[in-house]
Chains A and B, each alone.
Chain A
Amino acid sequence: MSEVKARRMNMSQAIAMAMYDAMELDSSVIALGEDIADPQGGGVFKCTAGLSDRFGTERVRSTPIAEQAIMGAAVGAALAGMRPVAEIMLMNFITVAMDQVVNHAAKLRFMTGGQTHVPLTIRTATGAGFGTGGQHADYLEAWFAHTAGIKVVAPSTPADAYGLLLSCIFDDDPCLFVESLPLYFAMGEAPVAGERIPLGKAKVVREGSDITVVSYSRTMVEVQAVAKELEKQNISVEVIDLRSIVPLDMDTVLASVAKTGRLVVAHEAQVDFGVGAEIATRVHRELFGQLRAPVGRVGAARSPVPFSKALEDAFIPTKQRITAAILETLR
């Protein structure tokens, strides 16, 4: 297990630490992806730095730029009893390997009547803010949440990333682990070595009484800043970090909304047909009589991720847009 000396670290360091500890713990944990081995730089975001030096290039393999080959090899290795961690550099590139993820990884346990299973973790990064335009920054988690057989996890802090990634790697079903590009560089509290965080347990990161805001991944940063700001105006916001989309911890969400009577869901994925829609419909169904306002949703606009900063600010759920959604719901 890693010896944690630093009290704070960033998310890419926390992910590398989780990978290291998982590989140290279990020889069936293996990794593959573009440029992930140390001779190729230990991953373009350094999330696998040091792994091949320590565990060898048999277990930690850089691959050609070939997402179908990466995902297929991961599925096959998982069928043969390994616990592969496949890095798909950016979430948009998963589209190249969708057949392996959706038709195979997610479905094989069911289609084989439980004879096989696919303990695969797909690590992938995304998020606007780096001027990468329309094919490098989408949040596509709703697609996968819509597919039975796969779990979807999206941490917002280094410590959560560490604990949730360990849980994904040692889970017996395929997990999609969504990493936020901007959060790679954000410092946070260091994880406790070996401490796993169970999937499907949302976290109330801030208690409040006027309104509940549910979020995950990068948008949590904006939501927390807004909650702090609104406190000055005597608006008390309860903030919930979902941490995983599937499994979805509705108990925590419902308990909070039963208390506040108001909910806004905020995520960087586009609003239409998104995770927020699913949560809103469940809350409306369960708490119809207790809601004091319709559930609000805030997220990206219905457009491809734009390049120009001038457009990007209108695209992503900025603090201003989250604030506006909260005030609208409180009206």
Chain B
Amino acid sequence: MKDPKTPDAAVLLDIYRKAHLIKTADDRFIELIKAGQIASPYYSTRGQELIPAAVSVNLRADDYVITTYRGIHDQLAKGIPLRPFVAEFMGRATGTCKGKGGPMHITHLASGLPVTTGVVGSGLPIANGLAWAAQLKKTGQVTVCNFGDGASNIGAFHEALNLASVWKLPVVFVCQNNGYAEHTKYEYGTGAHAIVDRAIGYGMHGIQCNGNDAVEMWGAAHEAIERARSGQGPTLIEAKTFRFRGHLLGDDSHYIAKDEMAAAIAADPMPALRAWLIEQGHASDLALAEIDNTNREQFEDAVQFGLASPYPDVSELQLDVYAEEVRA
């Protein structure tokens, strides 16, 4: 009998495909910014790819994912269409938000991405409302809320986790603990030995896992999402990971010890997953190379689409402020 706690080969390849697409996007965005073709602050997700890749294969298309300004991995894993996604990064009229949101606020409701916040911790209280609506409408939808270790120290975290627990909401809080809140190392800013320990204080189910291990991450997400969907309430997942490219593009990670960074890079989850898939016989080198090429081609198509797209008309400034034009 198939062990439900282990993803099969098809699922593992899907995780790989998503993770590789995320890395492809990250590499290319940085090239485009450095070349002056995108003008935006950029928060790289390099190193954290496996978390959303392994979470999202457990989700339905209509499930909700909330993320933050460091969010391209979560958005791509959920299946945001590439052309409007890249166009939004470039501030074009064809972007998901017509160029009015930008990289920090990528939203695509049709893909189950209703809000991306630029304010640390603010997604957590909103996740509860999406989940409450699903509970009332009995849709079975689950809301996954992503945030970093830094967000676990802001008041919104406390208020949101407490309410989610009291109301037994179908939410999975995924703390992507990359060890640094902006430039501040975990132990300088966080009193708890582990973020997962905080779940106890809310009477909430908690799981700590290695977010850089596809199988372990999949197992944690599978368990939490099934619990949420079956009415057993919320879970706090602490997924341990690492951030290779600083808080913000241009930040040289000078505050991270050299040996710590070297060890993290030596354990880079992307080449590790690739080698493991081949070693376990889940895929051949050739099959993975094909996935890689398809990802690159599709992403490049989106880049060219974005570059060729027009900027929004200035009349957009007064549109979507309210449903109708409001005389203030």
Contacts and interface: CB of A to CB of B under 8 A. Distances in A.
B255 interface: no
B114 A79 contact: yes
Interface string A304-316: 0000000000000
Contacts of B146: none
Given A69-B159, A77-B132, A114 B98 contact: yes
Given A69-B160, A79-B115, A173-B322, A113 B96 contact: yes
A204 interface: no
Contact of A104 (B126, B166, B328): B126
Interface stretch (A11-19, A219-227, A243-251): A243-251
Contact of A246 (B98, B127, B328): B328
Interface string A88-100: 0000000000011
Interface in B190-233: none
Interface of B: 64, 95-101, 105, 107-109, 114-115, 117-119, 122, 124-137, 143, 155-156, 159-160, 162-163, 166-167, 319-323, 326-328
Contacts of A61: 167
26 contacts: A63-B163, A69-B128, A69-B160, A69-B162, A72-B124, A72-B159, A72-B160, A73-B163, A76-B126, A76-B132, A80-B133, A84-B129, A100-B122, A103-B117, A113-B98, A113-B101, A115-B107, A149-B321, A172-B323, A173-B322, A173-B323, A173-B326, A200-B326, A200-B327, A247-B326, A247-B327
A39 interface: no
Interface in A49-85: 58-59, 61, 63-64, 66-69, 71-82, 84
Contacts, number: 164
A247 B322 CA distance: 11
A282 to B, nearest CB: 11
A101 to B, nearest CB: 11
B101 A111 contact: yes
- For the complex of A and B, the 5 pairs showing the least CB-CB separation, nearest first, are A72-B125, A76-B129, A80-B133, A113-B98, A69-B159
A290 interface: no
B326 A109 contact: no
Contacts of A84: 129
Nearest to B155: A68
Contacts of A63: 163
Most A-side CB within 10 Å, residue of B99, B115, B126, B166: B126
A113 to B, nearest CB: 3
Contact of A66 (B101, B114, B122, B163): B163
A277 to B, nearest CB: 14
Contacts of B156: 68-69, 72, 99
Contacts of B107: 111-113, 115-116
Nearest to B97: A113
A249 to B, nearest CB: 8
Nearest to A148: B321
A82 B162 contact: no
A200 B319 CA distance: 19
Contacts of A116: 107, 109, 114-115
Contacts of B135: 58
Interface of A: 30, 58-59, 61, 63-64, 66-69, 71-82, 84, 99-100, 103-104, 108-117, 145, 148-149, 151, 171-173, 200, 246-250
Nearest to A79: B114
Contacts of B162: 64, 66, 69
B129 A104 contact: no
A256 to B, nearest CB: 17
B103 to A, nearest CB: 12
A320 to B, nearest CB: 32
A202 to B, nearest CB: 12
Contacts of B125: 68-69, 71-73, 75-76, 100
Given A108-B115, A115-B96, A115-B109, A76 B163 contact: no
A113 B95 contact: yes
Contacts of B130: 76-77, 79-80
Nearest to A119: B323
Given A103-B122, A112-B105, A73 B128 contact: yes
Given A76-B125, A173-B323, A81 B133 contact: yes
B105 A111 contact: yes
A111 B167 contact: no
Contacts of B101: 111-113
B228 to A, nearest CB: 15
